[in-house]
Amino acid sequence: MISWLTRSPVAARVAPFAVFLVLTGLQDRFGEAGRYWVYLAKTLVGAWMLWTLRSHIPEMRWKWTGPAVAAGVLVFAVWVGLEGYYPKLSAMLSRLGLGGDRAAGEGAGGWNPHACFGQDSVLAWFFIVVRLGGSTLVVPWLEEVFFRSFLYRYLIQPEFLAVPLNRFKAHAFILVAVFFAVEHQEWLPGLLCGLAYQGLVCWKGRLGDAIAAHALTNFLLGCWVVWRGAWGFW
């Protein structure tokens, strides 16, 4: 499978994200405890695919810069600060009769391993670490490679490797931010987040700043979730 992916620049950038997305769709189909084990599995699979394909995606290197740190902190502040001021995606879908009921139910309890495995149990803290590690060290790489290395440039032209990362096209800039937004229950901060990360890529002409900013945002949000018990964000 991996040897096939290495022969296709599109597949190398799309397949890890697609596999991760499929496993996410299966996450809540194995009972309350099963969702945590599936998250562990999809994190390991995603990490393995990224590691195996790293030499075939040369732009996939994070870059810690002042703007990247500033964007990461700002997006975290916006993500938390907007909470309660807009309807979640599941609620909007439910009002439209588009099957948002199950998602709304999931969002109500959030990801709370203490409630599933026992307060402060070993398994509870294990899955908290897994979630924090996955959202910080795997998800940013998967999403940034798919959305900003592949999709943004592909929307400009199908021969996407010929498109410099700093090329600005308004339609691609907006569409990718919208696609990124609807991937999240928190669609409004997701939209602003997508604009910020894409802006970093266009400004700096590399993917690394966006990966670093995304990783920092997710790490800070994870710490906030654990500290405040704000499990709904997960």
Tens of pLDDT, residue by residue, the chain (234 residues): 677 778 899 999 999 999 999 999 998 888 889 999 999 999 999 999 999 999 999 999 999 999 999 999 999 999 999 999 999 998 888 888 776 444 433 444 568 999 999 999 999 999 999 999 999 999 999 999 999 999 999 999 999 999 999 999 999 999 999 999 999 999 999 999 999 999 999 999 999 999 999 999 999 999 999 999 999 999
Other beta carbons less than 10 A from residue 178's beta carbon? 14
Query: Where would I find the H helices in the chain?
Result: 2-6, 9-26, 31-53, 66-81, 89-95, 101-109, 113-117, 122-137, 139-144, 152-156, 170-182, 187-204, 208-228
Q: pLDDT value at position 88?
A: 92
pLDDT at position 3 = 73
Tell me what pLDDT residue 68 has.
98
Nearest to 197 by CA among 82, 77, 68, 76: 68
Q: What is the structure's pLDDT at 4?
A: 72
Residue holding tokens 């266009």? Answer: 202
pLDDT of residue 1: 60
